[in-house]
Amino acid sequence: MPIATKIKEHIEHSSWIRKMFEEGASLRQQFGDKNVFDFTLGNPTMEPPEELHRELKKIAENPIPGMHRYMNNAGYEETRAAVAEVIAENCNQPVTATHIVMTCGAGAALNVVLKTLLNPGDEVIILTPYFVEYKFYIDNHSGVAVEVVTKDDFQPDLDAIASAINSRTRAIIVNSPNNPTGVIYPEPALIALGELLMQKEQEYGTTILAISDEPYARISFGELVPCIFSSIRNSIVVTSHSKDLALPGDRIGYLAANPAMTDVGLFMQGAIFSNRVLGFVNAPALMQRLVTNLQRISVDIEEYRYKRDLLYNKLTELGFEVVKPGGGFYLFPKSPLADEMDFIRMAQKYRILLVPGSGFGAPGFFRIAYCVEDEMIINSLPRWEELAHEAGLSAR
């Protein structure tokens, strides 16, 4: 059966993450689970907090009449109010339930925002390295993705961003803590970006929205993850509880609009409409009720810090070049070989599965997802030593 040409092309150039994950399945069949070190997929092995299980049990034992019916397409009022209360505290902004739409995760939230904003041919700036699905999401809504390279430390390059902005620029997506680098954008960088966007808005007579993709915002190792609302007036937060509550398969998240943004009421009308017509209709009713009382709860961040330090310390000791992540659960080292695909294939000889940086718009690097069991990380360390030796690295 024929499929759309565009979809066929997307499949052919689709996510390296899934390709490597499938390679891992083949190796596990051959060598057994414990002898394969799969760092490809950001699928947390950590279990949700105990508070979530208590909420789930409470809801199951005390069902609310009508709890599985449709609600306002934006979500339950009490859930949106709970989300807004925490954002208002963290951002010192008058965020209310009217600025929140509950969504089927951050991916849905991004698609809702882009559907609301984009006319055909409008441009959206994405900073490399970027989350692999951004380009597909932008294309979903007839937009054009414009890649802008970051600095050597993966911080935003304002000069490069300024050069990329034109009259067709509708938005820029920022992701902090970043996937795949784990880098956090500090407040001065966001303030400078906000000033640049205001200058360009005045120059072109347009509105440029900063879309802050924040599913890792609560997984920070001591470094502050600043609120974008305090730095950029025309800004939106999209996020999910996939990472901070370890619920990736339950698809629950939200978008939040800065109450100070231009025509915020009109944007919210558009977002609620888009949430409906994209087919999401509303975020899952049960999950909305479940997370209402968990807005100040997260998984144990120290467990992720321990995993990060195990790998970061070992890799830097072996001679790998890597920017230390401030949050999230990824490392993004530089490939010791000129072609990172040669290194990826070399790593497979030691049954270490990695994702090439090309999939994130950053050839010459590779991604490690360390949201795996501690045992797997520890057992992989001797193999990393062998790999580093073959790659010609010198231990420090």
Specify the CATH number for the domain of residue 246. Answer: 3.40.640.10
Write b or e for each residue in 106-139: b if 16 or more Cβ atoms lie within 10 A of its Cβ, otherwise e.
bbbbbbbbbbbbbeeebbbbbbebbbbbbbbbbe
Q: Which residue, 195, 193, 201, 117, is CA-closest to 160?
A: 193
**Can you give the pLDDT at residue 11?**
73
Same-domain pairing of 252 and 207 = yes
pLDDT value for 394: 86
Same domain, 42 and 59: no
Domain boundary, last residue among 225, 259, 294: 294
Element (H, E) at 128: strand 123-128
Kindly state whether residue 65 falls inside one of the protein's structural domains.
yes
- Using the 3D structure, point to which of 271, 294, 317 is the last residue of a domain: 294
pTM, 2 dp: 0.95
Pairing of strands 253-257, 100-103: antiparallel
10 and 123 housed in the same domain: no
Question: In terms of domains, do 65 and 93 share one?
Answer: yes
| The pLDDT of residue 34 | 81
In the three-class reduction of DSSP (H, G, I as helix; E, B as strand; rest coil), residue 210 is classed as: strand
**Residue 395 lies inside a defined structural domain of this protein:** no
Q: What is the tally of structural domains in the chain?
A: 2
Q: What pLDDT sits at residue 15?
A: 58
What is the domain-level CATH number for residue 323?
A: 3.90.1150.10
Same domain, 306 and 368: yes
Is 124 part of any domain? yes
Asked whether residue 185 falls in the same domain as residue 332, the answer is no
DSSP-assigned beta bridge partners for residue 334 = 365
Q: Is 165 left (phi over 0), alpha (psi -120 to 50) or beta?
A: beta
Could you tell me the mean pLDDT of each successive run of 10 residues in the chain, 396 residues long? 80 65 72 85 93 95 93 97 97 97 98 98 98 96 98 98 98 98 98 98 98 97 94 98 96 98 98 98 97 97 97 98 98 97 96 94 97 97 97 87
Predicted pLDDT of residue 25: 73
State the Cα–Cα distance between residues 364 and 129, nearest whole angstrom: 11
Give me the residues paired with residue 256 across strands: 100, 237
Contact 360, 130 (CB under 8 A): yes
